Amino acid sequence: MESAGRFFFDPSACQGNMLVLGKRDPVFRGPRSMMNMEESSKRGLFFSSPEDFFEEEYYDEQSPEKKRRLTAEQVHLLENSFELENKLEPERKSQLAKDLGLQPRQVAVWFQNRRARWKTKQLERDYDLLKSSYDTLRSNYDSLVKENENLKSEVASLTEKLEAKEATITSSLGQESDSHPVGIANASALQVSVKVEDRLSSGSNGSAVVDEEGPHLVDSGDSYFPNDNYVGCVAPLDGFHSEDDDGSDDGRSYFSDVFAAAAEPQQHEEGEPLGWWVWS
């Protein structure tokens, strides 16, 4: 690599007087804004070593306008420093610049760009996290909808059977009513069956579950699920919005908690920031 092993040499620095540029002073000028050689020698150029600065041959060969990449070693040191702390105090900036043979402005720019890169990566990570959460929730929701459908059809089939049985009982009672008085037992049976049917047909959309041996009847109209475990699963779905929803947020969004949780500061590997770009 052409730039390997080169240093950005600041002539003033070797006199124990590091040149500190103002915020808007360019590190070097590209084709957009050329600077002459006199300016270049004041501002500093890229060289393999401080000694090269004084070698006229090298000076002639190397265009001062060329943008040079940092060496692997420089990048490694900067990365280490970034891992320690992604913000740069003036003292650390000066020290790093001195250690690396760079201008403080270059160090600051490198940190600026590094933070931007980190933020992009972090956004990608967060997106993946939220997407997988969404996918899981979506699949749970879909299976609950399926289960709901199955339970509905089960209720319908049971209701049908009950009605058939009831019809049989009614007709047999009709046949016997002439010759025999209605027995107490039969009357009770009828009452029970009617009562059960009433309960089956009550509630929203006939949503009731009858099982004398099973859990308690839930007839609130909110859920088919008989106990708190199921209710816990279903309740948040009340606020679930499909893609073509009107977007009103009067109901609780199923995903709001997930998004909130995902947005909460997390511990990342390698001492990375805890939040979106907030460091510990």
* By the rule CB under 7 A, 47 interacts with DNA: no
Show the CA angle centred on residue 57, arms to residues 20 and 26, nearest 5°.
Answer: 25
Which residues in the 11-30 window bind DNA by CB under 7 A?
22-24, 26-30
Which residues in the 261-280 window bind DNA by CB under 7 A?
277
Q: Which is nearer to DNA, 29 or 152 (CB)?
A: 29
Q: Which is nearer to DNA, 109 or 263 (CB)?
A: 109
Q: Which helix (H) or strand (E) holds 82?
A: helix 72-84
Amino acid occupying residue 154 = E
Total of chain residues touching DNA, rule CB under 7 A: 37
Q: How far is the CB of 103 from DNA (least distance, A)?
A: 8
Instruction: Choose the stretch contacting DNA; rule: CB under 7 A; options: 48-56, 102-110, 187-195, 214-222.
Output: 102-110
**Bridge partners for 47 per DSSP:** 7
Rounded CA separation 137/27 (Å): 51
Rounded CA separation 44/11 (Å): 6
* By the rule CB under 7 A, 92 interacts with DNA: no
Residue environment code for 154-172, b if the CB has 16+ CB neighbours within 10 A, otherwise e: ebeeebeeeeeebeeeeee
Residue at token pair 């600065």: 53
* By the rule CB under 7 A, 116 interacts with DNA: yes
Among 16, 38, 87, 229, binds DNA (CB under 7 A): 87
Among 34, 49, 55, 69, binds DNA (CB under 7 A): 69
Among 70, 96, 97, 200, binds DNA (CB under 7 A): 70
Residue 55: HSE in the Cβ half-sphere, 13 Å Cα cutoff: 11
Show the CA angle centred on residue 250, arms to residues 245 and 253, nearest 5°.
Answer: 65
Q: How far is the CB of 82 from DNA (least distance, A)?
A: 11
Would you tell me the crossing angle of helices 256-263 and 104-176 to the nearest 10 degrees? Answer: 150
Q: Which spans of this chain sit near DNA (rule: CB under 7 A)?
A: 1-3, 8, 22-24, 26-33, 66-70, 75, 87-88, 90, 105-106, 108-113, 115-117, 119, 277
